[in-house]
């Protein structure tokens, strides 16, 4: 019996301080990413989410250069570059936003290449690229835990404040404008929420993979339910389970070949997210479309009861 337990949970899992840290931060990140992710999926902004993670990588590589905590670099450059995308993409429909994201994304990644080169050639921070791109959940400075939790709570609060106007402007920007909602501000503030989610996620599983927890769990949840609120809860739960299992498996992998090395957490988390998504696809459903309410009254209904997706039969 103990043997089986040791296979499932390698010795030391429950007493290891770095595992406890990883679980705590991982949970916060999974919840925030899951909740924000539902809106990202509804608004069709997966690519922007991915780009924001890469923008953050540039900031993080700068912070390595000056010996700051990568978190601040992730946040700072994410907001700056995101604002650039937002401003450049204004006045166009979605396609315009998509193109400006692409253009800025490429430039900022070029900057990232430059700063990572500086990191590795002018400082002794050897692990900068691996840490920035693929995350180091077990090596996060315990001092960052309170900061992460506070930022996470702030993001959630901001999202709750934005909830109704955001929902409206995500479904029908013209109608939202007509009702006096400052659509531009709403979109900018939501982008800030995305930056927060993606930055924290980058710390855990790296900038390249930060959208894993943003898109996968949300996409899974939206396949399982038609209610926005419930989708948020399901999405956060899916992400959390994937993160926890990922951490346990990474810890256990110390005893797998090649023994004594351990596999990266990122690999397990991304695999589990994909697995959950594939499982959710077994639920038979037609392609979904957002019902576009034609009248005022049904719009009120949407806001009251949440976003419902209908089968297109």
244 in contact with other proteins (CB under 8 A): no
Phi, psi of 290 (to 5 degrees): -75, 130
For the bound state, the minimum distance from the C-beta of residue 90 to other proteins, rounded and expressed in Å, comes to: 7
Instruction: Tell me 286's DSSP state.
Output: P
What are the tokens at 70?
A: 């990568």
Give the separation between CA 231 and CA 238, rounded to whole angstroms. Answer: 10
Task: Restricting to residues 64-123, name those near other proteins by CB under 8 A.
Answer: 65, 80-81, 83-84, 87-88, 90-91, 111, 114-115, 117-118, 120-123
Give the separation between CA 105 and CA 88, rounded to whole angstroms. Answer: 13
For the bound state, the minimum distance from the C-beta of residue 199 to other proteins, rounded and expressed in Å, comes to: 17
Contacts of 158 (CB under 8 A, 6+ apart): 189, 192, 193
Please pick, from the candidates 2, 124, 286, 297, the single residue that binds other proteins as defined by CB under 8 A.
124
271 in contact with other proteins (CB under 8 A): no
Helix, coil or strand: residue 289 = strand
261 in contact with other proteins (CB under 8 A): yes
DSSP codes joined into one string, 20-86: HHHHHHHHHHHHHHHHHHHHHHHHT-HHHHHHHHHHHHHHHHHHHHTT--HHHHHHHHHHHHHHHHH
Segment (H or E) for 91 = none
For the bound state, the minimum distance from the C-beta of residue 73 to other proteins, rounded and expressed in Å, comes to: 12
Task: Name the residue nearer to other proteins (CB basis): 219 or 265.
Answer: 265
55 in contact with other proteins (CB under 8 A): no
131 in contact with other proteins (CB under 8 A): yes
Task: Name the residue nearer to other proteins (CB basis): 180 or 258.
Answer: 258
129 in contact with other proteins (CB under 8 A): yes
8 in contact with other proteins (CB under 8 A): no
Give the separation between CA 23 and CA 21, rounded to whole angstroms. Answer: 5
- Which residue ranges make up the site for other proteins (CB under 8 A)? 10, 12, 16-19, 22, 62, 65, 80-81, 83-84, 87-88, 90-91, 111, 114-115, 117-118, 120-131, 136, 138-139, 141, 250-251, 254, 260-262, 264
């Amino acid at each position: 019996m103990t043997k089986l337990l040791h296979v499932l949970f390698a010795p030391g899992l429950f007493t290891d301080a770095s595992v406890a840290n990883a679980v705590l931060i991982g949970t916060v990140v999974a919840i925030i990413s899951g909740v924000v992710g539902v809106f990202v999926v509804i608004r069709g902004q997966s690519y922007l989410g991915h780009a924001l993670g890469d923008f953050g990588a540039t900031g993080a590589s700068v912070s390595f250069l000056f010996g700051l905590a990568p978190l601040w670099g992730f946040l700072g450059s994410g907001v700056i570059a995101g604002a650039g995308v937002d401003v450049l993409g204004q006045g166009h429909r979605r396609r315009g936003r998509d193109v400006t994201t692409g253009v800025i994304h490429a430039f900022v990644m070029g900057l990232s290449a430059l700063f990572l080169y500086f990191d590795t050639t002018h400082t002794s921070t050897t692990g900068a690229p691996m840490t920035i791109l693929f995350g180091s959940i077990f090596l996060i400075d315990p001092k960052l835990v309170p900061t992460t939790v506070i930022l996470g709570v702030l993001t959630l609060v901001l999202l709750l404040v934005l909830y109704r106007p955001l929902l409206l402007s995500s479904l029908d920007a013209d109608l939202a404008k007509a009702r006096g909602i400052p659509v531009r501000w709403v979109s900018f503030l939501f982008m800030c929420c995305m930056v927060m989610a993606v930055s924290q996620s980058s710390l855990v599983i790296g900038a390249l993979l930060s959208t894993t927890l943003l898109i996968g769990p949300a996409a899974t949840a939206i396949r399982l339910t038609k209610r926005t609120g419930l989708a948020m809860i399901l999405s956060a739960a899916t992400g959390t389970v994937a993160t926890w299992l990922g951490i346990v498996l990474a810890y256990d992998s110390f005893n797998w070949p090649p023994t004594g090395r351990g596999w990266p957490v990122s690999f397990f988390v991304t695999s589990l997210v994909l697995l959950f998504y594939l499982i959710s696809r077994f639920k038979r459903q037609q392609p979904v479309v957002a019902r576009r309410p034609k009248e005022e009254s049904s719009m009120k209904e949407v806001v009251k009861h949440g976003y419902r997706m209908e089968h297109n039969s």
